[in-house]
Each structure stands twice: as structure tokens, then as C-alpha cells.
Amino acid sequence: MKVLVTVKEVAEVGDDFAIEGTEIAESDLEYDLNEWDDYAIEAGVRLAEDGIADEVVALTIGPERSEETIRMALAKGADRAVRVWDDAIAEAFLDVDTKVDLLEAVVDEEDPDLVLTGVQAADDAFGATGVALADRIGFEHAAVVNDLDLDADAGVANVRRELEGGVEELTEVDVPAVLTVQTGINEPRYASLRGIRQAQRKEIATKDLADIGLSPDDVEGALTVTNMYEPESESDAEIIEGDPGEAAGRLAEVLREKGVDA
Amino acid sequence: MADPAVLAVAEHRRGELREISLELLTAGRELADAIGGELHVAVVSGDVEAHADSLNREGVDAIHTVAVGEEFDHSVYQGAVEALVDAHDPTTLLLPNSVNGLDYAPAVAESLGVPLVTDAIDVAYDDALTVTREQYGSKVETTIEVDGDRFAITIRGGEWPAATGAGEATIESFDAAVDPGESGARVQGYEEVGDGDVDIADADVLVSVGRGIEEEENLELIFDLAEAMGATVSSSRPIVDNGWLPKNRQVGQSGKVVTPDVYLAVGISGAVQHVAGMKGAETIIAVNTDPNAPIFDIADYGIVGDLFEIVPELIDDFE
């Protein structure tokens, strides 16, 4: 069985940042592996370690900089990686449909049995790509999976889906399938030094739009960001000032007024 | 019956209509007014008649009941919604940004070839649709203009008030010709998780800890504080994901909803999923190093500072 794990380099914003037009200033962004995708990688690598997956391929849409991120996936045990990028992609706002166009092209080439994605990306938080991809490529799917038991012989994935309010749904999903992976499904490993060294030797195949049979017109999405701003705080919180001792003392008074006392 | 501007799809679970269904009606009416047209509502599976009665609120023009299956099944929902779109040609599909909403909305949008915007916190229509949503962990809001004649939007729970007032909607059953038996994903059952020895939902005072605690060993500090204050320890999601505390301690959308007298949030940024579980606390107090952390937006009292300096002082004070 071949497992394809989609991985995204996400932009993170510190406490202080500037907005330039409809984007955050590049100098205020830091890049990291999307947290949810880290769990998806771990799920894929465990399938390989359990002898269920023969190959785990990491797939990303991202500029050259994101090779650092995809090497994390390789260092943790993915066998090889595919990176899709093009100057035309850099200029577009990648909506769900466009991402699916790009991913579908690679899925056609790779022909995986199982696709694992993070539930959402920490930066744009659309949470939709995995399920939309499943519909496009004719795979079954399950969203927000926090437990996976794959029965390859029976061709089913037994999953738990984490619903709201502490309820889990137990579902049997036919494979091939796309599963969107929730944090907490496993404990992602740290990349070992040996893994990091090995990752340097693993293949990252780079593909532009022409390589996957698409044109710049295909990445023109339907969504345009027209404004970006910091939300106004609706806070009427009383901020307790002072050094830690003073602030804690005042907080203790407040707590006692509210009836807190051991 | 005129073509609807908006078709909203209700959500229910284990016999109960979920609150977001009524919020969808409010958002749906606003948008239908802006576009100019009717608000239709679909309710799929389960006791559709009873749910239709509950959904018959002021501003709803029509309710379509699809009596197939009992519980949520994404292929049934997808088939039903696509058939309704075929039959009634709505401009906008309005769906819940819930775990189940995100299990079928993207497939519907993909299949129908309509643009999808998820997790909307505001919507407006003036010749074109614009949707407001958050990015970068709630640090910024963006408005997104959608190019197209038809749209799919999922809305965040808690952003619109629930629709009230008795309605005069027509209620019609709709034959969507979908078969739950053909689904490639079969629900086997449900399980409540996280019932343990401690019930944080019962506690009057909670000391809740988040990512700011950094290391598992540091949790001892939080337990010391809780003991000094006579409080119970709860947490945000990352602490449970790390395996540092059991699931029954987790406050939030996927954890427990708590309504203590006092909720002291230590090192918790206040992501929307967490806030969903604790905003009903009578008094909310936050200790966090980041003055822009969203937790301060809902806190009554706050200390902008390092928990490793504040908490030991607080323990001293109570001991």
C-alpha cells in the first residue's frame, strides 16, 4: 500500500507584526511545518513501520524555502517527497479548488491507496482541502480523525472522528480514502540526527505547472483577499499592573472577593 | 415557491438539533435579505418532522425535510444537498463550520463546482459576496471577495445569535433519492470520551493551563496553585494532545463545556475552540505574556506577565 501525506509549510506570526496591504510583512513571518500535518506524517510512518504501507510519499505545494519543511517529513521517515511550485502559484491566492487541482495532478501520477492530510493549516485554516480532494479523485473520506486502525486485507480503515463536546464517532471507511488527521491521534516523533542525515539523501522531486499538466490559468482562484486588519479588541478586562509580587497580590485579593479560598 | 437566495443546512446529533442550526437561520436571513430572495432550510436524516418544527423560526420561508437515515452520514448529506441545489437553485449554500459540516461541505462545493469559504465570522452581499474570516490563529481578520454566481460558506458557531420567534415556513418533504446503504463510510457508533474521576464541569473554581506551561514537569506548579486555591485543574487542548493530562480535563469545543464561578486561565492564548468551552464562566482571569492574546478579549481581569513569576507568588499568597 502506498501512502501519500500532504504537508504544508505554514506562516506564523509573532506578537508584533505589520500589515502591508492585504499581507503580513514578510519580515514578520516565520515558517514551520503545519502542526496537523506533523500528526499526519506520524500516522503514515507508523503504517510503514507496522508493515502496512510499502511507501510513504510526502507532497507539498510550496516555494524552495519549504524544502526545509518537507525534509522534516523525510527525516521522520517518509521515503521521498514531491514539491509542486511555479511562479504563477506564488502570485495567486490558493483557494481550496486550486489546491485540489494541484494535488489531483500528483495523485494521478502517484496512485496512492491512502492520502493523509492535516485537518487544517494553521495559517489560513480553511480545513477543507482533504475532503474536497477525496470528492475530486473518487476516494472515500473521513474528516477530523483522531484514531486510525487500518485493516489492509479487508480494505477498510476503522477510524474515530472527534465530534464536538467530547463525543467520538466510530466509522468504517472503505480504502482508498483520504483521512484528515486531528492532533492527538498519536505523538509525533522528533527527527533523529540519523534521520536528519538520511533525509539529505532522499529525493525531493520538484514539479512546476507544466510538469503536472496544468497552466497558469488553472491557478486563478475565485477568492480574492480584499482587506486584512487586526481585529479590534472587545476587551473590557481590568489589567492588573505591577511587578509579579504586586500583581499576584492584587489578583489574590480579586480571587478572594470572588469567594476563592482554600 | 420562489427560488431561494440561501439554502441553509441544519445539523443535529443523537436526536438533538444543534445550536448552530438556529445560528445558520440568522446568518441566512441576513444574507437572503442582502441578495434579495427567500431563505430555505434543509434538514436531513433523523426525526426530520420534529426538527422542522424547531427550525420554523421567523424569517424562514421554506423547510425541506429529507427523511433518509438516522444519523449524520456524509454521503447522504452530500447527495441530499446536491439534489436540493438542482431542484431549487439557491445562490448561496450556508453550512455549519462543525466537524460534520467540514466532513461534507468541501465535497459538495467541489462536486457542484462552486467556490467555498469556510469558518466565516461575517458575510455581506453587495453585488458580490464578501466573507470575513480569521487567519494566523485569530491574529488578523481578512475579508475575502468571492467571484461567482453561486457560493458555499460554512459559518463559525457562536458568531450569529440563534433565530427566535415562531415562523410561518412551508414544510415539504423532499425525495433526494439517496441510499445510506451505498455509503463507503459507515458509522458504527458513538462513544463519550474523557469521563474520569474528576468532573471539571462540576467545579466552582478552575485553574486551567495551556501551552504556556512549556514542559510537563511544570504542571506541578499548576497543581500546587490549584491546591492552594481549593480549585480543580483543567487545560486547553495541547496539554491533552501531549498526553500530559487526560482528556477529561480538556476544556473546549472538543472537550468539556464548563461554567465555573472563576476560571483562571494560565498560559492559554484563547483560541476560538477553547473559548467555546469556557466563555460561560462567571469571572474569567487570564495570565499570559502576550498582551494581544485573544483570551484577554473575554477576560474580566488580566495580568500580562510570565506565569513562572506570577504563579509562585500567587501560591505564596494563598498558603
pLDDT at B138: 86
Which residues in chain B touch residue A228, judged by CB atoms under 8 angstroms apart?
Answer: 135, 140-143
A contacts of B256 (beta carbons < 8 Å): 165-166
What predicted TM-score, i.e. pTM, was given to this entire model?
A: 0.94
Q: Residue B118's closest CA among B105, B100, B137?
A: B105
The verdict on a CB contact (< 8 Å) between A260 and B262 is: yes
pLDDT, average across residues B56-79: 97
Sign of CA dihedral A194, A195, A196, A199: positive
Look at A229 and B238 and tell me if their CB atoms are within 8 Å: no
CB pairs under 8 A between A and B: 271
Q: How far is B30 from chain A (nearest CA, A)?
A: 21
- Does A15 sit within 8 Å of B99, measured CB to CB? no
For chain A, give the percent of residues with pLDDT over 70: 100
The pLDDT value given to residue A233: 75
Question: pLDDT tens digits, residue range A84-94?
Answer: 999 999 877 89
Task: Write b or e for each residue in B283-310: b if 16 or more Cβ atoms lie within 10 A of its Cβ, otherwise e.
Answer: bbbbbbbbebbbbbbbbbbbbbbebebb
Lowest-confidence segment of A65-74, A164-173, B191-200, B304-313 by average pLDDT = B191-200
Closest partner residue to B187 (CB to CB) among A169, A260, A262 is A169
What count of other Cβ atoms lies within 10 Å of the Cβ of residue B216? Answer: 12
Chain-wide mean pLDDT for chain B?
95
> What is the pLDDT at residue B1?
63
ipTM of the complex, rounded to two decimals: 0.95
pLDDT band at A236 (very low <50, low <70, confident <90, very high): confident
Task: Please tell me the predicted confidence (pLDDT) of residue A98.
Answer: 95
Confidence of residue A232 (pLDDT cuts 50, 70, 90): confident
* Shortest CA gap A201–chain B (Å): 31
Q: What average pLDDT does the segment B25-42 reach?
A: 97
List, as ranges, residues 113-142 from A with C-beta within 8 Å of B: 119, 122-132, 134-136, 140-142
pLDDT-derived band at B292, boundaries 50, 70, 90: confident
List the single residue in A with minimal CA-CA distance to B230. A262
What's the pLDDT at B197? 74
Residue of chain B minimizing CA distance to A234: B297
Q: Is residue A100 within 8 angstroms of chain B, CB to CB?
A: yes
User: Residue A262 pLDDT > 70, yes or no?
Assistant: no
Using the predicted structure, report yes or no on whether residue B64 has a pLDDT greater than 80. yes
Q: In this prediction, what percent of chain B has a pLDDT beyond 90? A: 92
Closest Cα in chain B, distance from residue A223 (Å): 5
Model confidence band, residue B32 (pLDDT cutoffs 50, 70, 90): very high
Residues B74-127: tens digit of each pLDDT:
999 999 999 999 999 999 999 999 999 999 999 999 999 999 999 999 999 999
Q: What is the pLDDT of residue A92?
A: 77
Average pLDDT over residues A214-231: 93
* pLDDT tens profile B142-167: 999 999 999 999 999 999 999 999 99
Q: How far is B247 from chain A (nearest CA, A)?
A: 8
Each residue's pLDDT tens digit, B182-234: 889 999 999 988 667 788 999 999 999 999 999 999 999 999 999 999 999 99
Task: Tell whether A167 lies on the interface with B, counting CB pairs under 8 A.
Answer: yes
Grid coordinates of B270: 484563547
Of A217, A207, A215, A218, give the one whose Cα is nearest residue A84: A207
Query: pLDDT per residue over A94-134, tens digit each?
Result: 999 999 999 999 999 999 999 999 999 999 999 999 999 99
Query: Which residues does chain B have within 8 Å of residue A125's beta carbon, measured at their own beta carbons?
Result: 118-119, 133-135
Cα dist from B252 to A5, A28, A163, B243, B280, whole Å: 28, 30, 12, 16, 11
Distance CA A121, CA B40 (A): 32
CA distance B40 to chain A (A): 24
Please answer yes or no on whether A144 and B106 come within 8 Å at the CB atom: no
Among B222, B314, B220, B229, CA closest to B268: B222
Residues from chain B that touch A173, judged by Cβ atoms under 8 A, are: 184-186
**Would the CA dihedral through A229, A235, A241, A247 be positive or negative?**
negative
pLDDT at A16: 86
Mean pLDDT value of segment B31-56: 97
Q: Which residues make beta-bridge pairs with A40?
A: none
